[in-house]
């Protein structure tokens, strides 16, 4: 999916204005892939990535539906609803509870072809969202995956800049983007394909990714600002119509924002007798052992 085999050269003399114009052009070209599509579903968390994907999808696909799959009381419960309302886009919420997760867990594990706990937790909301999309007659799902690896969205990039400098961050971004297809995207595709849906990852367009990876890390990270990371992407989102409150809101990782990490623990405690009295530390290994043996 990443497709880039040669690392792009970082353009240290590029201005933020020039960078934004280039990114905007390439992203608009990426979304032309949706021309002719009549029904499009967007995996939606309320963060800047999925919000920009939603706005640009709507420009090309009149019947655009945002789908949030999350657990009760999760971060996404409030954030997604508020962001969709800010952008005047239709949102469907799919609630994941202990029983529905328990019933679906074997299907999720089977579909993504891995039993690693973190991958399972990430795939759960995608699997539920794709199921909802299919039931509503949608055949294509748009995902906002990619900007964290392209624009330094993770906290470890900021830490790396502070401790080792900008070039180390740029090296890390290239290394992470180079493996994101195998490490992340194929898992997501499998979870969605389990329901017979096609996928589109607009931020992984080769020209857009190449333009992003030519940016110096100083345009993406500023430890003195809030938020401190993914700065160029947030500016791009603002330029392309995402409301400021949405564009500037920090976002948690999928498994935490959707609540599936916590819900997996609750579900296994409720349905597996041997886990009910385990300590938190004992649970960590017990959950992975359970996933390893799941039929």
Question: Tens digits of per-residue pLDDT, 110-129?
Answer: 999 999 999 999 999 999 99
- Percent of the chain's residues with pLDDT above 70: 99
Please state the domain count of the chain.
1
The reported pLDDT for the residue numbered 138 is 98
The residue among 280 and 160 whose pLDDT is bigger is 160
Q: Would you say residue 47 lies in a domain?
A: yes
Give residue 3's pLDDT.
Answer: 75
CB neighbourhood size of 220 (10 A) = 27
Tell me: pLDDT of 2 over 70: no
Higher-confidence residue: 251 or 132?
132
Take residue 208 and report the two structure tokens written for it.
């857009």
Residue 250 forms part of a structural domain: yes
199 within a domain of the structure (yes/no)? yes
The Cα–Cα gap between 47 and 122 comes to 16
Q: Identify whether 11 is part of a domain.
A: no
Tell whether the model's pLDDT for residue 38 goes beyond 80. yes
Cα 213 from Cα 205, distance rounded (Å): 12
Mean pLDDT throughout 22-35?
98
Q: How confident is the model at residue 61 (pLDDT cuts 50, 70, 90)?
A: very high
Any domain includes 189 = yes
Domain containing 34 equals 16-293
Strand (E) positions, 180-291?
A: 198-200
Q: Which two tokens stand for residue 137?
A: 């007659």
pLDDT of residue 225: 94
Q: What is the mean pLDDT of the chain?
A: 95
Q: So what's the pLDDT on residue 278?
A: 93
Confidence of residue 35 (pLDDT cuts 50, 70, 90): very high
Mean pLDDT throughout 97-114? 97
CA distance 36 to 222: 40
Average confidence (pLDDT) over 229-246 = 97
Residue 1: is its pLDDT beyond 70? no
Rounded (to 5) percent helix, strand, coil in the chain: 60, 10, 30
Q: How far apart are CA 121 and CA 215, in angstroms?
A: 32
- 242-263 tens-digit pLDDT: 999 999 988 778 888 999 999 9
Domain-embedded: residue 5: no
Assigned domain for 7 exists: no
CATH code at position 138: 3.40.50.620
Residue 273: inside a domain: yes
Are 87 and 242 in contact by the 8 Å Cβ rule? The answer is: yes
Which residue in the block uniquely carries the two structure tokens 């969605």? Answer: 192
Say what the pTM is. 0.95
């Amino acid at each position: 999916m990443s497709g880039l085999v040669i690392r792009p050269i970082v353009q240290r003399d590029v201005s933020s204005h020039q960078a934004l114009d280039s990114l905007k052009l390439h992203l608009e070209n990426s979304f032309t892939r949706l021309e002719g599509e009549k029904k499009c579903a967007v995996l939606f968390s309320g963060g800047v990535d999925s919000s920009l994907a939603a706005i640009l999808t709507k420009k090309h696909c009149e019947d655009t539906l945002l789908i949030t799959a999350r657990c009760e009381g999760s971060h996404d419960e409030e954030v997604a609803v508020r962001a969709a309302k800010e952008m005047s886009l239709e949102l469907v919420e799919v609630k994941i509870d202990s029983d529905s997760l328990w019933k679906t867990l074997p299907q999720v594990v089977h579909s993504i072809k891995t039993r690693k706990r973190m991958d399972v937790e990430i795939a759960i909301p995608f699997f539920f969202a794709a199921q909802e999309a299919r039931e509503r007659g949608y055949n294509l799902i748009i995902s906002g995956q990619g900007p964290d690896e392209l624009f330094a969205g993770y906290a470890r990039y900021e830490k790396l800049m502070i401790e080792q400098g900008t070039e180390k961050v740029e090296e890390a971004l290239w290394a992470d983007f180079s493996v994101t297809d195998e490490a992340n995207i194929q898992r997501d595709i499998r979870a969605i394909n389990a329901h017979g849906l096609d996928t589109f990852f607009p931020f992984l367009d080769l020209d857009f990714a190449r333009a992003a990876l030519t940016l110096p890390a100083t345009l993406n990270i500023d430890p003195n600002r809030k938020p401190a990371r993914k700065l160029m992407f947030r500016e791009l989102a603002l330029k392309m119509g995402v409301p400021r409150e949405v564009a500037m809101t920090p976002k948690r990782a999928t498994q935490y924002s959707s609540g599936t990490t916590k819900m997996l623990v609750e579900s296994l405690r409720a349905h597996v007798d041997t886990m009910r009295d385990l300590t938190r530390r004992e649970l960590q290994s017990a959950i992975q052992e359970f996933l390893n043996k799941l039929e």
